[in-house]
Structure 1
Amino acid sequence: MGHKSSSAVWLARLLLGCISAADVLSSRGTVTLTSDGKRNVDTPPCFELDDCHSSPHGVRDLDCFREPRSIKYQCVWNSGERSSNKTSSTLIVEQRQSCNKYTNISGTSHDIFVYRNYNMTAYVVETSTDGRNCTKAVFSGFPQHLVRCSPTQTVGFKRHSRRLEVLPSWKESDVTQYVVQYREHRSSSWKKSVEILKGDKWTAGNLTASASYEVQIQCVRNTGCLQCPWSQIFLVPMELTAEPVIEKLEAVPLGKGRRKVVIEWKLDPTEAADGYRVTVTKASGEHSQVLTTTVPRTRLHLSGSAFNISIEAFNGAGNSSPVLTSVPPMGGSDLADTLKVTLGGDTNFTVSWNRSATKSYWCYSVEWWQRGERPSSHSFYQRKDNSAKIPLQAPLQPYRRYVFLLHVRPDKDTCNLKHINESEMTYGRTEAYVAEGTPLSPPLNITCWRATRNSLEISWTSIPEEDLRGFLLGYNLYYSEADRENHSSTVRLGPSENTYTLSALRERTVHSVSLSAFTAAGEGVRSSPMYLNTNGSGNWKLTGATAGVAGGIIFLVIVAYLCNPLFHRAKALFWPSIPNPGNSNAIQKIDGVLDQEALEPITAGTTVQMKESDTSSLLIIEDHAASEPNGSSHLLVQRVADPPPAALPTEVEKEASSRDQASAPLLTHARDSRTTSPAPCVSDYTTMELFQQATALPAADQQPPPPLLAGVRAGQPDAGAQTKAGKDYIRQSLCSTVVLYLDTTGEGKVSILS
């Protein structure tokens, strides 16, 4: 067959060559061919469009070639930038003494006929619609060297782990090898690979995952491919490194046996994804469906089966890592009493359902599994009966609970799934054991969480599924007094109960309690006895709460008692009490009537030896013989020239004599001086007026101050002038004020008031 086709090809070539040669020899001129292949013999010379020029913005990139094992030559070019759909091109092929013209070409390529043994020159001319602009492109070559393998158009790209995999394909069998050059997007330098055998995958590693790459592919020249142009530049997007993150998975019932499953997810915003591929597979493996979406969400209408869902992002470089999730099977609350299963042995089982369903459905599917196993499935066609025998590929295990689901399907022509979304409805659900056994363990976590004087409240948790080995029918609760365990009482409880209160028990007595579960096969293992005491003190929880409250009150009282001194100290530190000047001794004595005598000058040698800081509190005050009624503002320092009073006033003399003995040791050096009249004691606060009166002397006949007073005034030339009038009170020294009373009679009597 191949030999005959080859002979026909060569015969056709010979025939066409003879016809073309005859035309050339007979016409001795130009043969013009229109775009539909018709020949015009009487035509002008080959190329006379000298006014057309070459321009980078006009028609360009003219190229002529033939593919391997083909007798046709083809010329291709690119249109000008101002071309439109109405623009037509003219192709002129000049070879030796022949000239072929192809006019009114609307596309950018055209088949031509040439002689293989002569050089050829081709012109393509494009004229603007208004005829004012004409551009041309020229190509020359030897036909035998114009055998070209077309650039690949089908390339598979895949990026992962900072690697880029490229797998191109060609329709020409003459291509045996190829090379790849690549670079980062918008980079100026290419990296070229070594020669790769056709059919093998080229891989580049150590790439930047977040960068896009440009790829070009070229076949390697050989005898079958004399020309191997570069392919177009393929842009490979960035690698998808992050998998989608599921944000929402919700199953909403849509009626009996159907659910609406809503899934929403998100992808890292730095990832450049073109879309998402959602693969939904039945957990039994019966069928899977691939859904494609451009938004990160999807909605499915599914049956009550268990489904596995895989979501992955994709772009032109490949896929991201998939994120996996699952939809659990539907519960049996709304599917009860609609399906029955009869286990007939190790090779099959029988399912039966309501006969009314056969009027609407003919195609069914059964799924069954035990916990932790992959479901098995079997689909079948049933037209009349409402039961079917299902073969088993592997026998069912005894003492294991199996779940059975029956699905109905709307496609009556075939019972196989065509798609998963909106394909079937779950009709019935049931559970069954091949053979039941007794429980292998007692109930768990048996505790007494409340004990009163004559009752015990017991709680527990159910037995694990793998130890139950049958349908749980209930519990047996055994209890007795600890010294009469052989005469225990039994309470039978239902399978849904997990608490029970033992009442009418003896007060302050230890009781023995134990539990067991039972199935259709009998009673299981009994728990070890738990010894509990009826305490006779009521509810221990209430007692503990009362004790806690009482203890808290006692603790607060103790804390308040201990913290009271600290509170007073803190109050004195942060909020000190300010004394009331009206309660001071100075104000009280000013308000009274007091006769005072003037102090005589005191020499420095007779001054009481005191600390320097205390001398500021020593005031020498003169009292007039006759005080005014209030006596609040007439206390002046006596001048040295004034004669002292003859004797001390009676009241002051009594007070001075009472203090003689206490003050004698302090005033040993002052006994030779004259006594003075008593002065009022200045306490913490005194008025500015009193201070000014006590420090200012009359200006009439001013005498040198006594040595002690002069020492006081030496540091303060004008105390009254330096004191601000705005202050009502001046704080004196914290030490007691010392007032000297000197006897003027010469007896050397001294008194001190502090």
Structure 2
Amino acid sequence: MAGCKVQLDFSDSRCSSCASHPYYIILGLILVHYATLSMHSQVTQEKCKVNEISSKYEHCGLHPDGVRDLDCFTKYPWSKLRCMWKPGKHASKNTHILVIQPQKRNYCRVYKNINKSREEITFYKNHYVTIQIFENSESKNCTKTDFQGSPESLQRCDPPNYVKFTRHSGKLDINVSWDQNDVKHIMSYSVRYKALGSLQWNESPGMSQNKTTCRVENLNSSVAYALQIHCITNTKCTQCPWSEAYTVPSEVTSQPVIVNFKETDVANEKGTRLVSITWKVSARDLHDGYIVTIGKESGEAPIERIDTIQPSITLILSYSAYSVSIQSFNNVSISPAVSHIIPLREDMDSMGDDELNVTVHNNISFKIYWKDFLLKKYVCYCAEWREEKTKTAYKSFYLKGKNYYTFSLLKEPLKPYKRYTVSLHVRPNKDTCNMKHLNNSEGTFASTKFYFMEGTPVSGPANISSYNLTQNSMVLQWSSIPEEDTRGFLLGYTIHYTENHLRGTESENNITVDPNVNKYELKDLTSGTTYQVQISGFTSKGTGKRSEPNFFTTTQEGSFKFTSIIAAIAVLAAGLIFGPPIIKRAKVVLWPSIPNPGKSNTMQKIDRPCELELLEVINTLKAEEWETKSLHIIEKEAVAPATILPAMLPLLCGLDKRGDSPGITCNWIQTETDDATGNTSPNNTTDTLLETQQTDLQSFPFPFPSGYTTMEMFQHVMPQSITAVTQDMESDPEDADLTVFNPKPGLDYVRQFSTSPVSDNDHLSTIL
């Protein structure tokens, strides 16, 4: 029932607001809960006796995996003692007990329920103290760590709270800042370093000359280092611990290389161009990004720095000249810069006399004026003027309602005979006529050239030459006069030419051509005449110096025909001299020499058998045996029987030289010694040789296949002929008593005729 009353009480009208807001009740309960927890976890301290502490925690010992690295210090001026430690790896509860005990005192102070790894305790600066931390004090795995120190050694100055490194050329510059409570006590500091990944620190640490900067030298630019810093101890800083290890990357040493530069006009924007630059860096350099610095060549502000992580940049610029430098960087170094000049552009279509004009008053004052339609859009302008190959001067100005401006009291006076270029830039930003940024901040309206004082050219055209020479014309060609020698605006060239004769020269002829012309054809000249030619340029101040004299001769009348005849004769002579060897060589290469059987001298043509012809041939061969083109077969022995010769007659009848004797016939003649029966006397070999027998060449049983007969064929034919003759003799019974000599089985010799005559004893023998 009591619970109900409580409930009724809450429902009473006086607590209606509480019922309507139940979250207030919940919030109150949460606050009460956390207040209770905080009371239980709050660090408590109490006095103790040294003997009691020693007996209570005597089971606790030092262990590498337990609580460790207790360190206590204080800040100047004297304040509470700050103690820090590292908890054990296997602590069941993150609670510690700290005991501080002054030396030579039998009392101590205990701090319990410490859930952090640091604590501030009351410090007695006049006593040497021993401090202990206990972990897992209620278990058998209790561990502890100790610290002892005197008041004079407990004043600490912490490592720097800010460090900046800069590397260049093997040097490392260090800039640090300290805690505001320590900076007034620190006089200097030192550093130690080692190559990244090395185990041993450098044995000769560097030392600063002041409390902020230090330089370490003789480092390897391509090596990354680890580095630590601490202050130099003194009476106010008795402890100077090393800082954490800082990583210092290697230097960026490679200069970027520009690989592409592109310039295009911006559409619908007069006097502006889109400039794109792309570059690359060495892969061995570790970099974080790139620094692009761009400014006008004239020196006008601003010089703008653009940081980018991409190796390219795109800008919208006017036609003015700009200088660009590009560097790569990391957090400790910047690479050498690559520079590029974006040149002044003067080839825009609107750059004419109608757009911008100049009036020079004197060497320190001139006026420019332009089209008045700009007045409706622009009030901020900038003019730039410069002599060729000199620094550009500039002047920015605000102008409203006028289309002209006078520049006076120039810092650099204008020089006579020197050409100047002036450009007018317009700026759409009306807040200020001084640009805040270079990118897309101005455009070029027009550009023109002017002289403070003009003169005449000091030199003439060079490299004068001629071509297409004819009897009455020639074409002259020359190089333009250098701009620095014109000393004014070149209005044209004058060609001076005269006929050159031994008795003197005739009157000079002059022809004027435009300044942009560098060749001209002279006409109506005299054939075969030498002309002296000189060329000079002229300005508004007059004609300048002439070029050196040059001499050119027109062709002679009829010289073309004479030259053609000489050329034809030369070609014909060369053909006669070198033609036959060339043709002969070509014939040997292209058409090899093949013997003609019909014209062979080895074997003569065989027509038909002839007895008288045979004798004449034999006599002729003996008389002309020195002819090397004839074949002669000789045997030095007794004459063969006459019965063999008839077998040879059919073969030898046809042997003849190239031309047969017209008086000799090929018919066999019958002699008086023949009887009526046609038999031949065996006792008369001479008569047997003249025996007649009607034989036709066509009936010869061994015809030659062609007019060309080799020795091998001749040797094959002769035995067969002799055999045939022998058979005919055996068939006739009346000739049975004929004596037939067997042929000799060998050939005495076969040779060509030499110049030695054959002896009378030599006789023709049959070859077997």
Q: Is this a same-fold pair by TM over 0.5? A: yes
Structure 1 residues 498 and 74 mapped into 2: Cα distance closer, same or farther (>3 Å)? farther
Do structure 1's residue 475 and structure 2's residue 475 form an aligned pair? no
The 8 Å contact of residues 178 and 196 in structure 1, kept in 2 or not, is answered as yes
Structure 1 residues 230 and 343 mapped into 2: Cα distance closer, same or farther (>3 Å)? same
Query: How far does residue 42 in structure 1 lie from its aligned partner after superposition?
Result: 6.9
Deviation by residue 1:122-156 (Cα, 9 ceiling, x = unmatched): 6899xxxxxxxx99996846475151331464232
Alignment match of 2:245 (pick from 209, 223, 232): 232
When the two chains are superposed, the root-mean-square deviation of aligned CA atoms in Å is: 5.8
What is the alpha-carbon distance in structure 1 between the residues aligned to residue 429 and residue 68 of structure 2?
59
**Equivalence for 2:19:** none
Deviation by residue 1:241-275 (Cα, 9 ceiling, x = unmatched): x3222222221111421111122223333444333
Alignment match of 2:215 (pick from 172, 195, 202): 202
Structure 1 residues 53 and 205 mapped into 2: Cα distance closer, same or farther (>3 Å)? closer
Structure 1 residues 76 and 43 mapped into 2: Cα distance closer, same or farther (>3 Å)? closer
Do structure 1's residue 395 and structure 2's residue 407 form an aligned pair? no
What is the alpha-carbon distance in structure 2 between the residues aligned to residue 579 and residue 530 of structure 1?
70
Alignment of 1:409-558 (within 5 A): 409-482=427-500, 487-536=507-556
Query: How far does residue 97 in structure 1 lie from its aligned partner after superposition?
Result: 1.6
**Equivalence for 1:381:** 398
Q: Secondary structure in 1 aligned to 2:262?
A: strand
**Equivalence for 1:305:** 320
Query: How far does residue 53 in structure 1 lie from its aligned partner after superposition?
Result: 11
Query: How far does residue 751 in structure 1 lie from its aligned partner after superposition?
Result: 2.1
Q: What TM-score do you get using the length of structure 2 for normalisation?
A: 0.62
Structure 1 residues 343 and 41 mapped into 2: Cα distance closer, same or farther (>3 Å)? same
Q: Secondary structure in 2 aligned to 1:378?
A: strand
Structure 1 residues 92 and 708 mapped into 2: Cα distance closer, same or farther (>3 Å)? farther
Deviation by residue 1:499-537 (Cα, 9 ceiling, x = unmatched): 221211222222232222121222222234433322246
Structure 1 residues 360 and 204 mapped into 2: Cα distance closer, same or farther (>3 Å)? same
Alignment of 1:319-398 (within 5 A): 319-331=334-346, 332-336=348-352, 337-391=354-408, 392-398=410-416
The 8 Å contact of residues 473 and 524 in structure 2, kept in 1 or not, is answered as yes
**Equivalence for 2:103:** none
The 8 Å contact of residues 346 and 395 in structure 1, kept in 2 or not, is answered as yes
**Equivalence for 1:115:** 123
The 8 Å contact of residues 165 and 248 in structure 2, kept in 1 or not, is answered as no
**Equivalence for 1:663:** none
Alignment match of 1:155 (pick from 164, 168, 184): 164
Q: Secondary structure in 2 aligned to 1:192?
A: coil
Structure 1 residues 707 and 507 mapped into 2: Cα distance closer, same or farther (>3 Å)? closer
Alignment match of 1:281 (pick from 286, 289, 295): 295
What is the alpha-carbon distance in structure 1 between the residues aligned to residue 71 and residue 186 of structure 2?
20
Deviation by residue 1:333-361 (Cα, 9 ceiling, x = unmatched): 33333323333334433333333323322
What is the alpha-carbon distance in structure 1 between the residues aligned to residue 119 and residue 363 of structure 2?
73
Query: How far does residue 90 in structure 1 lie from its aligned partner after superposition?
Result: 7.3
What is the alpha-carbon distance in structure 2 between the residues aligned to residue 340 and residue 442 of structure 1?
29
Alignment gaps of 5+ in structure 2 = 1-33, 101-107, 610-632, 634-639, 656-701, 721-742, 753-760
The 8 Å contact of residues 167 and 251 in structure 2, kept in 1 or not, is answered as no
What is the alpha-carbon distance in structure 2 between the residues aligned to residue 257 and residue 565 of structure 1?
77
The amino acid of 2:525's aligned partner reads L
Query: How far does residue 234 in structure 1 lie from its aligned partner after superposition?
Result: 1.3
The amino acid of 2:256's aligned partner reads P
Query: How far does residue 311 in structure 1 lie from its aligned partner after superposition?
Result: 2.1
State which structure, 1 or 2, has the greater radius of gyration over its C-alpha atoms. Answer: 2
Structure 1 residues 432 and 203 mapped into 2: Cα distance closer, same or farther (>3 Å)? same
Structure 1 residues 478 and 70 mapped into 2: Cα distance closer, same or farther (>3 Å)? farther
- Worse-matched range after superposition: 302-311 or 289-298: 289-298
Percent of aligned pairs sharing the same letter: 26
Structure 1 residues 97 and 748 mapped into 2: Cα distance closer, same or farther (>3 Å)? closer
What is the alpha-carbon distance in structure 1 between the residues aligned to residue 196 and residue 466 of structure 2?
73
- Worse-matched range after superposition: 71-80 or 491-500: 71-80
**Equivalence for 2:15:** none
Deviation by residue 1:357-379 (Cα, 9 ceiling, x = unmatched): 23322222111111010111122
Do structure 1's residue 214 and structure 2's residue 225 form an aligned pair? yes
Structure 1 residues 657 and 431 mapped into 2: Cα distance closer, same or farther (>3 Å)? closer
Do structure 1's residue 244 and structure 2's residue 256 form an aligned pair? yes
Do structure 1's residue 261 and structure 2's residue 257 form an aligned pair? no
The amino acid of 2:278's aligned partner reads E
The 8 Å contact of residues 453 and 538 in structure 1, kept in 2 or not, is answered as no
Q: Secondary structure in 2 aligned to 1:227?
A: coil
What is the alpha-carbon distance in structure 1 between the residues aligned to residue 168 and residue 47 of structure 2?
57
- Worse-matched range after superposition: 550-559 or 253-262: 550-559
What is the alpha-carbon distance in structure 2 between the residues aligned to residue 62 and residue 190 of structure 1?
25
Alignment of 1:552-571 (within 5 A): 561-567=580-586
What is the alpha-carbon distance in structure 1 between the residues aligned to residue 571 and residue 89 of structure 2?
93
Query: How far does residue 412 in structure 1 lie from its aligned partner after superposition?
Result: 2.1
What is the alpha-carbon distance in structure 2 between the residues aligned to residue 168 and residue 450 of structure 1?
79
The amino acid of 2:540's aligned partner reads A
